Chain A
Amino acid sequence: MKIKPLQIIAHIILILGVLLMVVPIWISFASSSHDSVTILTEGMKFHIGDQLARNYNEVLNEKGGWSEEVTAAKMFINSFIMALGIATLKVVISAMSAYALVYYRFKLAVPIFWLIFITLLVPLEVRIFPSYKIVSDLGLTNSYTGLILPLVASATATFFFRQFYKTIPDELLESAKLDGANAWSFFIDFLVPLSKTMIAAMFIFMFVYGYSQYLWPLIMTTAEEYWTVVMGMKIIYTESYEGVALPRTAERFAYIILSMIPPVLVVVFLQKWFIKGLIQTEK
């Protein structure tokens, strides 16, 4: 097979793109396997060093924080719970509210939809004080509920589900009705299976969104046992800067590499669904 010049150029561009994405991650990973002194004196590394196990063990199990109570492992668990809770509830609530908006033809459906839609203009950072006030009045500071609840409503996901449900032919609903389906079983037996690829996609987006939250957990949590990974990235080794100790650069790289694993796992796991949905066009 002859390779055309255009293909070569295309491949070069693609390879460059891949390198641009992969090299920083590789440098972080390689650097996380040396000791901090080497990194500080010689700069970042491209090859694997001999401190890999020690660094990762230290990051996962050493207690850090102001009062040295929280380990990175605990923060991973916290972040995972928070992201999982946010993603799951967002998908469930959006799918159900879109169902109501599309299939229950009440008079205020359109105004309510737009009301939901304009909340896109009011992200959490804008309403952070009132949100904090409400959560703290409810006594939910320093709890998973407090971390998750204010973030579970999603205009974006509601919008996507609404648009999808609108493409489902009315005959399907009518046929299901004649087959004895009620409102609940139509949702569970029809809309959920039909939109499963959409659910997978939304879950991925929302998981990453929840996982990368920084400001909200920072304000919400005073107890270290509720710290999340993204907050920890800033805080966990701060004590190293005080006094005479060297900055623990290698451990920081290890921490960064570890923090990437949960979202990557979610994407890898759900991608199967995603592709399956793309191959079998069922609609």
Chain B
Amino acid sequence: MSFLDLKNVTKIYPNGTKAVHETSLSVDEGEFMVFVGPSGCGKSTLLRMVAGLEDITEGDINLDGKLMNEVDPSERDVAMVFQNYALYPHMNVYNNLAYGLKNRGIDKETIEQKVNDAAKLLQISDYLQRKPSMLSGGQRQRVAMGRAIVRNPKIFLFDEPLSNLDAKLRIQMRLEIKKLQQKVGVTSIFVTHDQVEAMTLADRLAVINNGIIEQLGTPIEIYDNPESLFVAGFIGSPQMNFLNGNLTNKTLSAEGFEIKDINSDFEGEVTLGIRPEHLSQTENGLINLKVDLVEQLGSDNLVYGQLKDKKDFCYRCPGNQTIEKGANLSLNIENNKYYIFDKSTGKRVN
């Protein structure tokens, strides 16, 4: 049995809403697991069930070999960083960090030692006497993490902790969280709706949609091999291009082009997915793109345009290429990196 084990966990709210469907998942000790999905997909509910803040309707949650279903949150030895940090507004930073330790009946000197160590690690030693209202967003974020670290819990739970920060700080804190987790080595679960955060932080990633884990794997596995239409569309930025097509006899025919010798026996209507970064310009390529708009990011250009059938399409090319609005580009798919999904079920077929 692994460190954290979820077995057929289901959450049904009293009003009948099914937030999480029979989810099974294991997290190894020291692993950084990220739950990613659109808002309302049940990822936070799943996290809160691990924390004990939501009851489990069905299924079991085991942590470190112990069944947690009926264990009170305070007894679970988990620490959580909330989206709005939930710092204690009337206590100074020192007491914010020390409160959990005091409740555990730890003696004063040990508490002081632990708080000072955590403060040093997070570089908040100078603010220990301040109230949370006198701190900046980044400092508050650090205090919230300090409160989790200081207790030395079995597992860290992060509930979208970076979404209240501005873009620059978010990237900085993302790095710090990752470094910190590697340094401390505590098993962590991080919930986010931001796929870039998910990709950068995760050892393993669970893509969740409608209360179901659509795919579980390392970020690269998920990026390279999305198993469903949803995962393919959710992971990757800019989003994967989707085209309608028909697969018969190992030949895919889409609007305006055909791909032969496809490694699939599926027959019927399909959706073809091509990532904007898996395209390159050639003469007599498969896809003809009429350019509407170019976004110059410096390192890359994002080229938006339309295919023959007026379908929107995006192509990503290196920033040193100049592409004019209104130009006609001929594109090829690099290394046959395309994905074919059953149109009715959304499952990958190639």
Could you tell me which A residues sit within 8 Å of B by CB distance? 169, 171-172, 174-182, 185, 189-190, 193-194, 280-283
Report if B88 contacts A (CB, 8 A): yes
* New A-B contacts (8) at CB < 8 Å, excluding given A174-B82, A175-B82: A172-B88, A174-B51, A176-B99, A178-B74, A180-B74, A180-B104, A190-B88, A282-B131
- B74–A169 touching, CB < 8 Å: no
B310 within 8 A of A: no
Q: Is B133 within 8 A of A282, CB to CB? A: yes
Measured in the bound complex, the distance between the Cα atoms of B104 and A194 in whole Å is 23
Chain A residue with minimal CB distance to B89?
Answer: A282
Inter-chain contact B53/A177, CB cutoff 8 Å: yes
- In the complex formed, the residue of A with least CB distance to B103 is A180
Which residues of chain B have C-beta atoms less than 8 A from A182's C-beta?
Answer: 74
Q: Does B100 contact A (CB under 8 A)?
A: yes
Determine the main DSSP class of B at the interface with A: loop
Chain B residue with the shortest CB-CB distance to A174: B53
Closest residue to A185 on the B side, CB-wise?
B103
Contact A283 B89 (CB under 8 A): yes
For the complex, is B198 an interface residue (Cβ under 8 Å from A)? Answer: no
Q: Are B53 and A194 in contact (CB under 8 A)?
A: no
Q: Does B36 contact A (CB under 8 A)?
A: no
Of A171, A179, A193, A282, the residue contacting B103 (CB under 8 A) is A179
Across-interface contacts of B330 in A (CB, < 8 A): none
In whole Å, how far is B271's beta carbon from the nearest beta carbon of chain A? 40
28 A-B residue pairs with CB within 8 Å = A171-B83, A174-B73, A174-B80, A175-B82, A175-B86, A175-B88, A177-B53, A178-B51, A178-B52, A178-B53, A178-B73, A178-B76, A178-B78, A178-B79, A179-B74, A179-B103, A179-B147, A179-B151, A180-B74, A181-B74, A181-B103, A190-B90, A193-B90, A280-B131, A281-B133, A282-B131, A282-B133, A283-B89
Give chain B interface residues in 52-101, CB to chain A under 8 Å. 52-53, 72-74, 76, 78-80, 82-84, 86, 88-90, 99-100
What separation, in Å, do the CA atoms of A178 and B86 have in the docked complex? 12
Q: How far is the CA of A177 from the CA of B73 in the complex (A)?
A: 6
Residues in chain B near residue A174, CB distance under 8 A: 51, 53, 73, 80, 82, 86
B48 (CB) vs chain A CBs: closest residue: A174
Give, as a whole number of angstroms, the nearest-CB distance from A103 to chain B.
14
Min CB distance, A93 to chain B, in Å? 23
Most central of A171, A175, A193, A280 by chain B CB within 10 Å: A175
> Interface code B7-23, partner A: CB below 8 Å = 1, 0 otherwise?
00000000000000000
Give 4 nearest A-B pairs by CB, closest first: A180-B103, A179-B100, A171-B86, A175-B86
A110 CB, min distance to chain B CBs, angstroms: 16
Given contacts A189-B99, A283-B89, contact A175 B104 (CB under 8 A): no
Instruction: Given A181-B103, A190-B88, A194-B90, check contact A171 B82 (CB 8 Å).
Output: yes
Q: What's the Cα separation between A126 and B201 when bound, in Å?
A: 67
Could you tell me the distance between the alpha carbons of A102 and B99 in the complex, rounded to whole angstroms? 23
Complex interface: chain A residues within 8 A of B147 (CB): 175, 179
Contact with A along B185-213 (1 / 0, CB 8 A): 00000000000000000000000000000
Residues of A within 8 A of B89 (CB): 194, 282-283
Which residues of chain B come closer than 8 Å to A172, judged between CB atoms?
86, 88
- The answer to whether A179 touches B99 (Cβ under 8 A) is yes
Report A-chain residues with C-beta under 8 Å of the C-beta of B103: 179-181, 185
Report which residue of B51, B76, B103 has the largest number of chain A beta carbons within 10 angstroms of its beta carbon: B103
**Closest Cβ–Cβ distance, residue B74 to chain A (whole Å):** 4
* Residues of B with C-beta under 8 A to A175: 80, 82, 86, 88, 147
B84 touches A171 (CB 8 A): yes
Inside 8 A of A180's CB, which chain B residues have their CB?
A: 74, 100, 103-104
CA distance A169 to B99 in the complex (A): 18
Q: Specify the chain B residue showing the minimal Cβ separation from A283.
A: B89
Given A180-B100, A185-B103, A194-B90, is A169 in contact with B84 using a C-beta cutoff of 8 Å? yes
The docked-state distance in angstroms from the alpha carbon of A179 to that of B89 is 15
A178 and B82 alpha carbons, distance in the complex (Å)? 11
Which residues does chain B contribute within 8 Å of A171, judged by CB atoms?
82-84, 86
Cβ-closest chain B residue relative to A196: B90
Chain B residue with Cβ nearest A281: B133
Shortest CB–CB separation between residue B71 and chain A, in angstroms? 12
Please measure, in the bound complex, the distance between the C-alpha atom of A256 and the C-alpha atom of B53, giving whole angstroms. Answer: 58
